[in-house]
Amino acid sequence: MKTTFNRLVLSLTSVNRQHIQLAFIVLTLTMLVLGVGAPEDAGGNTLRK
Amino acid sequence: MILLVAVAGGLCIGIGVARWRGLPYQPPALQYLWLVFVAFLPQFVILYLPNVRQQIPDLWAAALLTASQILLLAFAWLNRKLPGMKILLLGAALNFTVMAANGGFMPISPQTASRLVPQEILQEIPPGERFGTKDILLHPEDTRFEWLADRFLPPVWSPYQVAFSLGDVFIALGVFWLLARQNHSGSFL
């Protein structure tokens, strides 16, 4: 029982770590492309009058 | 928006191909991640926070934007061996070139801008003024490297209108490739 529980915890920890790592990479790449890219749709309140 | 679609599309294709092959998805092994957070922070503050944005003079905004882009270029250069990053780096360099040559902002012509906002709003923005997030309204004849400016548009019938540059196209292709391509041997992507 204890071994099963430990395996489950280990599995969840592994999955979470992978998901967090992936989310971190995607967030980094999103910031990168938003930072170097400059498409303009003039949406929202970003227009200065 | 188009850049976020490229990120989402590349990720979906990458995960889909990995699952189809029965292998775990391997995100690109980026290094120096902290550099992106440090570089993007000033852009986030001066461009996306309306209160701060209105208080910072354009000269300061241009200087911070340029410094931020130099750091992001350095990050892309440090990770240039990853598949797709060289394409992204090329796009970033093209955007940096045209922006640095035009006062730190991306030039957009009044004609192109007229597809994005109503004419009555556009008439209130004189040439040389900032337009949108990173752009500056400039006539083509007053624009350096005009062919690298925000000059491309989707078809008129498209419900979403956006102006984008040649550099943006390379950036979108690069990040798509970066996320879609898997390093497993024999992968077709």
> Is 70 exceeded by the pLDDT of residue B185?
no
> Is 50 exceeded by the pLDDT of residue B8?
yes
- Token duo for residue B111: 């004609």
Say if B1 is an interface residue toward chain A (CB within 8 Å).
yes
The answer to whether B87 and B177 are in contact (CB under 8 A) is yes
The residue of B112, B134, B137, B166 whose CB has the most chain A CBs within 10 angstroms, and thus the best one to mutate to test that interface, is: B134
Residue of chain A nearest B170, judged by CA positions: A37
Of B3, B30, B108, the CB nearest to A34: B3
Average pLDDT, chain B: 92
B141-165 pLDDT, tens digit per residue, is: 999 999 999 999 999 999 889 999 9
- Cβ within 8 Å, pair A49-B124: yes
Q: What mean pLDDT do residues B126-150 have?
A: 94
Q: ipTM for the complex?
A: 0.92
Number of Cβ within a 10 Å radius of residue B19: 11
- Cβ within 8 Å, pair B116-A40: yes
Digit-by-digit pLDDT tens for chain A (49 residues) are 567 777 766 666 666 788 899 999 999 999 999 999 999 987 644 454 4
Handedness of CA B45, B151, B89, B185 (dihedral sign): positive
CA atoms within 13 A on the CB side of B55: 5
B59 or B54: whose pLDDT is higher? B59
pTM of the model: 0.88
Q: What mean pLDDT do residues B40-68 have?
A: 91
pLDDT for the residue numbered B45: 92
